[in-house]
Amino acid sequence: MTDFRNKVVYQIYPKSFKDSDGDGVGDLRGIIEKLDYLAELGVDYLWITPFFLSPQKDNGYDVADYTAIDPRFGSMEDFEELVNAAGKRGLKIMLDMVLCHTSDQHLWFQKALGGDETYRRYYILRDGRNKKGPEDPGEPPTNWQCAFGGSAWQWEPRLGKWYLHLHDVSQPDLDWTNPRVREELAGVVRFWKERGVAGFRFDVINLISKPERFEDDTEGLGRRLFADGPHVHEYLRELVASAGLEGMVTVGEMASTDLENCLLYTRPDAHELSMVFNFHHLKVDYRDGDKWALMEPDIMELKRLFAAWQTGMAEGGGWNALFWCNHDQPRIVSRFGDEKTYRKESAKMLAACIHLMRGTPYIYQGEEIGMTNPGYTSIDQYRDVESLNHYQILLDKGKTEGEALEILSVRSRDNGRTPMQWSEEPHGGFSEAEPWIPVAANFAEVNVASDLGEKDSIFSFYRELIRIRKEMPIVAEGGIWFLEEENPDVLAYERRWNNESLIVLCNFRRQYARLIKGCVSDYEKDGYRKRIGNYQGTGAGLRPYEVIVYHKVG
């Protein structure tokens, strides 16, 4: 069996996971403290987001030194202890590699600013348009917009050029057409591999290859022109060969990608990546595709997207990373579930929905206890550069402060970055000091200690889903067929492998839902046995946010 197919990955955002030294910021030793908890959950890999030296303009995704650990997170000795301690518990470490851009504080960019021609060629520099003289910067080279709002180009007098930054202005994009850049980055990956890292997640990796010609996007903000660029597959194959990644677990974050490219990224014979994240299913509550325009989730579109990607990747031999949450996404129980009346039921349903699909599931810290969005009511509570930028953009568009804050309370990346809620102690047991970002107000009710103390906890449900994946090859190896395709309330699918069948029925509504084809209990008449669910017993239909998983052999 391929190594990653029956494995589960747990994502740790170290800044918010556990503070061991009382400074209000999580750290590597805090992760070490909680390894027994993670081992009890049953996960296999710990994906740790960047803890490299960084000015923290984008919470560590602005890297100033790829091979140095930021002192606020610990030391190299702490990291080595983490690798060893995790290994003793059967846990492997996966690191987050940010290879599309650096911080503007990185030595490479600083040397470029100083006029070093070698390092100027590390970045994407262009002359402006409509220049009126040698001292005039002109206009940005293209109309591309960066991910956080505003132009993707920044004029830099010390360079005498505009530099490209597809993310924050402090994150200049690297020029992957330069072989020296590619070798430097492969060296970074080798550095961490030599220190015991067993897997890698590559941040926005499908943006590394820019188009041959830089021109305006007449239809959008530029993404369609610079995502999945002309040499991206070639660069990835080179990275795998140069860094010795063949056989290791790798996952790529894909921005604005498509199914065809993701098949190329993940087919075993392509030698690129083990699996990919795509985000199409997390845009079904974007009104007209605008993240900052709210609407209720379109469940029919969610079903269509899951069916297209699950069956398409299966037919083409590709592999999905399965996820609802990460450090860039709001909490799923607040988003597609019911964080008040049916928090536990909807948290369990959402977990089973993706954990039993074809792919490798990812759990984001706190998801396994049903953590919610914090419901911040003041802009002073936010820390995220994207959220702060878009708050002002929303005000400039005529939104009131209240309206803008309501949008941020639903959409902000900070919703997923609040401190892990370990107990009902002050600050949720995350730290003895005031955390770097406020803890959610419901930490006294929603926390690890209280969840573990319950007989039928969300944590125990996740643990059982992980056990099912490991004990039942049908989950890792089976094909997938979607059911109830015209049902606006129920997402359902069947997994088949050899002579086995697994039926997964998920009610995405807070009301009772019926099946279009027959009754739920009909499966039992056909010889199916209930394997797991979030309610006792079964009936003709599905109760609010109910999930039932049936299994049959023969």
Catalytic residue set: 203, 253
Distances (CA, A) of 181 to 97, 211, 421: 14, 17, 41
73: three-class secondary structure by DSSP? coil
- Pairwise CA distance, residues 192 & 112, whole Å: 26
Tokens representing 418 are 């609040």
Beta strand pairing status for 360-364 and 321-322? parallel
Torsions phi, psi of 324, nearest 5?
-110, -40
Tokens representing 326 are 């990460």
Tokens representing 334 are 């607040």
Helix H segments across 105-231? 107-113, 117-120, 179-193, 223-226
Q: Do residues 300 and 284 make contact, with C-beta atoms less than 8 angstroms apart? A: no
Instruction: Collect all residues with Cβ–Cβ distance below 8 Å to 10 and sequence separation of at least 6.
Output: 38, 41, 43, 45, 46, 47, 362, 363, 364, 365
Tokens representing 520 are 């739920």
Give the DSSP H/E element, type plus range, for residue 106.
Answer: none
Residue whose C-alpha is closest to residue 184's, from 61, 93, 97, 71: 97
Give the single-character DSSP code of 481.
E
- Pairwise CA distance, residues 39 & 448, whole Å: 14
- Pairwise CA distance, residues 543 & 552, whole Å: 23
Torsions phi, psi of 162, nearest 5?
-90, 135
Q: Do residues 383 and 417 make contact, with C-beta atoms less than 8 angstroms apart? A: yes
Cα 320 off chain centre by: 12
132, exposed or middle or buried, with CB in 10 Å at 0-12, 13-18, 19+?
exposed
In what side-by-side order are the strands of the sheet with 547-553? 479-483, 490-497, 500-507, 547-553, 529-533
- Pairwise CA distance, residues 379 & 391, whole Å: 8
Place of tokens 């049959």: 552
For the chain, the distance separating the N- and C-terminal CA atoms, rounded to the nearest angstrom, is 23
Helix H segments across 329-430? 332-335, 343-355, 385-396, 401-411
- Pairwise CA distance, residues 548 & 542, whole Å: 8
Residue whose C-alpha is closest to residue 49's, from 327, 362, 436, 373: 327
Tokens representing 149 are 């709002």
